Structure 1
Amino acid sequence: MARLPLHPLHPLHPRQSPQSRQSRQSRIPRLAAAAAAGTALTVLAAGPAAAGDPTVTNPHIVAHFDFAAGQNAENIALEPDGSADITFAFAHQVARVGQDGGTEILATLPEVPGAVTLVGGAIATGIARAHDGTLYVNYVTGKRETGIWRLSPDGDLRQIGFFPANAVPNGLALDEECGTLYTADSALGTVWSLPVTGGEPTAWATGDALEPTAELPFGANGLKVHDGAVWVSNSARGTLLRIPIGPGPDHAAGPVETRATGLTAIDDFAFTGHGDTVLAALIQANKLELVRPDGTHKTVLTDKDGLDNPTSVAVHAKKVYVNSAAYFNTLDPDPNLLLARISKNKL
């Protein structure tokens, strides 16, 4: 694959003056290394439609965001009323988007001078919501501000999780029953656990299945807690993984199971219901993929439906939400929030 053209906001783009190059953080997408290196991930042939497959219909964009302002829609958590809490990656913001598209900025993470990360500058990534309305957000800075930040319902924003400076905490999920936050580290190939009371994280799960590759420095990415296990996507390896949560007070990680392969540059994902059927965002392919419990999968949405480098997925009632960050679109980037109707299966 040929090298992607430089994004107009990239500090090395010819339009950028030396002053503007220095003032703007690089907005190279997280997976640009894949294109530059010409990585070709094997795609598993989609299986035939199954009787239990949910259907995804009536896709429509409800909100367009400001690409130039860094409002790359990165991750999503849902409110009880169906509003979406979204992280804007390079704006370092948390926003709430109503189903009518109305957008409110809830908080802005602090600027970090000299931030250097795998994607250039500081970036807000995963988000999770507690039942009381508290939001937890991952912040990647290459400095001491890297970790998990808590945004309380009254607007108080503070860091509670202090991660290694070279960590890239990405997908984030909260197990409220155990009072534990889990996050996937894309750079270090680790699933970290952190009590909601905060502190330094524990390396809960590690291993080759979570690691990035030489061709692509983004390994473990999306993360969900589901049915007694932590599920993780690996962007570099195109896989969906399941890690059982063990019994006892330490809830130790069980052996990593590979549940699906051939999910090219998978980012975040969400479960469609009580079973193990998943909707996965394939960021470079501009696809939303339905992944069945047996690992076969098929495409249910594409760029023709409005996807522009989809990053994350959520399901609420009869709706599916898909964020697009437009990281790779150098012609007409359209970061947005798409909603569609979903009829759930019973698997």
Structure 2
Amino acid sequence: MPRFLRPAAVAPAAAVAIGLFAAAPAAGDEPVVSSPHVIAHFDLAAGQTPENVVTERGGSVDVTFASARQVAKVTRERRVRVLATLPAEDHPRTSLMDGAVTLGLARAHDGTLYVNYATGTGRTGVWRVPAGGGTPEQIAQLPSDGLPNGLALDERHGVLYAADSALGTVWRIPQAGGTPTAWATGTALTGLPAPASGFGANGIKVHQDAVWVTNSDRGTLLRIPVGADGSAGATETRATGLTGVDDFVFPGHSDVVLAALNPSNEVVMVRPDGVRSTVLTVQDGLSNPTSLAVNGRDLFVAGGAYSTQRDPNLLKARLRAHFARS
């Protein structure tokens, strides 16, 4: 979520010109992404602005509705069911945002969900939702002046990583709950001063013994190695020029990334050498894409409609067979 705009002050979305390089041709002329179509339309007036998405076994997906403070399931039959609603905050003072919002989402193998909730109060932090839905429980408190945005789970080591957009920090939190640690900091993770949005670290994933993070203001994709003792190594910049980048996903086991460029309504493929190409656009149904998830050859893209102010949705597309993973 590079920006969260007040509905009354939203201007019509404008395309943002981004210089893109051509990717290598697909084997057999098969496109990287094909057959995009919107599988769920959400209610903007009800705060159903999808911010993060994770997949479930069987084809369903779970999303956070930022403004509604909810976690919801979208079934294969395209029905929407609310799994949990985070407690209301009477006097939110959320950094960079208007109101209390649910942001990053991670799912454990047993179906337990973890969600970032930002309020500007003591409720800011990571919350746990039981498998199948139920009453959410706060398991870690994060600084009230921060904005815990993206969330990633490393079940092998029993830890969560939260990307704080306001404080330019990656927090490391025990999966069972407890005291967070400021795992990684530095200029590469911070936002830029006004007139920029102030959003720094945003999307986050654990991949190949490293934590990968996007920085929205700086338009970068970063890689932070995880040391043998769990400590953070030196931050590496793996791609630049990703204007307004939000969340991202690894569609396979390589370092190829699909990233959501929120303001320009694009999903781009970024190769390990930093070369990138557009694979989805507004013509495919994107409405301020915020996050992506992959299940086999199925690619899901959530669109929060923050600046378009029309048709927050969930889009589904088909990945090239080369990227298919279990």
TM-score by length of 2: 0.91
How many residue pairs get aligned? The number is 315
* Distance apart, 1:54 and its partner CA: 6.4
* Distance apart, 1:344 and its partner CA: 4.1
Deviation string 1:262-312 (CA, Å, 9 cap, x unpaired) is 111000000010001111000000001111111110001001000000000
Aligned to 2:189: 210
Which whole-Å CA distance do the structure 1 matches of 2:17 and 2:315 have between them?
28
* Distance apart, 1:197 and its partner CA: 1.9
Q: 2:50 aligns with which of 56, 64, 73?
A: 73
Aligned to 1:38: none
Aligned to 1:104: 81
Gapped regions of structure 2 (runs ≥ 5): none
Residues 17, 264 of structure 2: 8 Å contact kept? no
* Distance apart, 1:346 and its partner CA: 6.1
Deviation string 1:7-41 (CA, Å, 9 cap, x unpaired) is 5x43xx6xxxxxxxxxxxxxx79xx9xx9xxxxx9
Residues 1:230 and 2:211 are matched in the alignment: yes
Q: 1:189 aligns with which of 162, 168, 174?
A: 168
Which whole-Å CA distance do the structure 1 matches of 2:21 and 2:227 have between them?
33
- Amino acid of the structure 1 residue aligned with 2:226: I
Residues 118, 125 of structure 2: 8 Å contact kept? yes
* Distance apart, 1:202 and its partner CA: 0.4
- Amino acid of the structure 2 residue aligned with 1:295: G
* Percent of residue pairs bearing the same amino acid type: 54
Q: 2:33 aligns with which of 45, 56, 66?
A: 56
Q: 2:285 aligns with which of 306, 325, 338?
A: 306
Which whole-Å CA distance do the structure 2 matches of 1:183 and 1:308 have between them?
25
Which whole-Å CA distance do the structure 2 matches of 1:103 and 1:164 have between them?
32
Q: Which runs of 4+ in 1 moved over 6 A?
A: none
Q: 2:123 aligns with which of 139, 142, 145?
A: 145
Aligned to 1:173: 152
RMSD (Å), alpha carbons: 2.4
Residues 169, 185 of structure 1: 8 Å contact kept? yes
- Amino acid of the structure 2 residue aligned with 1:226: H
Which whole-Å CA distance do the structure 1 matches of 2:76 and 2:249 have between them?
19
Q: 2:106 aligns with which of 128, 134, 156?
A: 128
Aligned to 2:22: 47
Residues 20, 278 of structure 2: 8 Å contact kept? no
Which whole-Å CA distance do the structure 2 matches of 1:48 and 1:313 have between them?
20
- Amino acid of the structure 1 residue aligned with 2:198: P
Distance 1:208 1:46, change over 3 A: same
Residues 44, 263 of structure 1: 8 Å contact kept? no
Which whole-Å CA distance do the structure 1 matches of 2:62 and 2:72 have between them?
6
Aligned to 2:222: 241
TM-score by length of 1: 0.86
Residues 251, 323 of structure 2: 8 Å contact kept? no
Which whole-Å CA distance do the structure 1 matches of 2:17 and 2:231 have between them?
32
Please give the secondary structure, in 1, of the residue aligned with 2:97. Answer: coil
Which whole-Å CA distance do the structure 2 matches of 1:165 and 1:42 have between them?
36
Aligned to 1:322: 301
* Distance apart, 1:51 and its partner CA: 4.8
